[in-house]
């Protein structure tokens, strides 16, 4: 990783506290598979409301793992976070240092050799996959004091997995996801047409690659698009509903509440709207 590929540190609000977050741009060969890496460090306790992001993640906790209230459990020191359709409250008891790999919605399977649908609505221990090379990587990361070097080691491991061929139809599902993000109101039939697949085959391939059914993933995309519009200052909820692909404003409010536990109006009292799916630290989305 070149020095020029390192993005300077900036702070984002985490609950009522500030956490230092370092973002790293993936190697050129990985940029169509990995969105970015980040390292979060804070020694303060915090609680944060999180939403369905639409991307899977690989998380290495170098200190105390986070507690997930809805699952009534702590994350593993090495966690793989699947696609989810519910909000969650994360709690840190302090002394948090985590390295996170954020994948594109459809790419994690080609690296870990396991279809992401198998951990839908779950956060699993990476050790449960029983991948010896991945376990060795985790051991090295968790015993290293140099976060930048840890990111480089993760990069090297990912690069060795680029051609393992686990995910079939990767390109066509990528095209479908990008199209859906552009037009969130797209139907499953329309998306199957973009993929040049029959509807039933498309649903199977999409679920294998992305980790949830296309209809369910479309709902996450609409929600994230609405968050992105609110994040960028839109306040006309009828307009947000239309642009995000909802049938009407009532549909928008109902779905929004399902994914974050708040109405669009009440969310502001909990946190600032922020779309992880539509926001990119490098300004490429």
73-74 β-sheet, strand order = 46-50, 88-92, 67-68, 73-74
- The whole-number pLDDT of residue 285 equals 44
**Structure confidence by residue, pLDDT tens digits, 217-271:** 999 999 999 999 999 999 899 999 999 999 999 999 999 999 999 999 999 888 8
- The whole-number pLDDT of residue 9 equals 46
pLDDT band at 68 (very low <50, low <70, confident <90, very high): very high
The average confidence (pLDDT) of the chain is: 90
Q: Is residue 1 scored above 70 in pLDDT?
A: no
CA 243 to chain centre: 22
Q: Are 166 and 108 in contact (CB under 8 A)?
A: no
- Helix 214-231 vs helix 170-182: angle between axes, to the nearest 10 degrees? 50
Q: Is residue 30 scored above 50 in pLDDT?
A: yes
**Structure confidence by residue, pLDDT tens digits, 196-208:** 999 999 999 999 9
pTM: 0.91
């Amino acid at each position: 990783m070149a020095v020029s590929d390192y993005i300077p540190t900036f702070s984002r609000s985490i609950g009522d506290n500030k956490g230092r977050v370092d973002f790293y741009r993936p190697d050129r060969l990985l940029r169509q598979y990995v969105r970015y890496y980040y390292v979060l460090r804070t020694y303060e306790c915090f609680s944060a409301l999180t939403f369905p992001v639409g991307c899977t993640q690989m998380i290495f906790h170098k200190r105390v793992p986070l507690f997930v209230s809805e699952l009534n459990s702590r994350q593993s020191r090495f966690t793989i976070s699947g696609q989810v359709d519910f909000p969650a409250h994360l709690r840190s008891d302090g002394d948090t240092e985590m390295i996170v790999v954020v994948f594109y919605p459809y790419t994690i399977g080609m690296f870990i050799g396991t279809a992401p649908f198998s951990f839908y609505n779950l956060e699993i221990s990476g050790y449960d996959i029983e991948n010896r090379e991945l376990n060795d990587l985790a051991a090295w990361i968790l015993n290293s004091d140099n976060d930048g070097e840890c990111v480089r080691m993760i990069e090297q491991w990912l690069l060795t997995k680029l051609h393992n061929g686990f995910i079939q139809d990767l390109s066509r599902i990528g095209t479908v996801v990008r199209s859906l993000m552009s037009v969130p109101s797209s139907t499953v039939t329309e998306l199957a047409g973009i993929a040049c697949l029959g509807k039933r085959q498309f649903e199977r391939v999409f679920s294998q690659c992305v980790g949830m059914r296309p209809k369910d993933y479309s709902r996450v995309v609409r929600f994230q698009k609405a968050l992105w519009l609110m994040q960028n200052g839109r306040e006309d909820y009828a307009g947000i509903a239309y642009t995000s692909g909802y049938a009407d404003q009532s549909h928008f409010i109902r779905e929004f509440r399902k994914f974050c536990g708040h109405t669009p109006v009440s969310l502001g009292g909990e946190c600032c709207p922020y779309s992880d799916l539509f926001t990119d630290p490098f300004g490429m989305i």
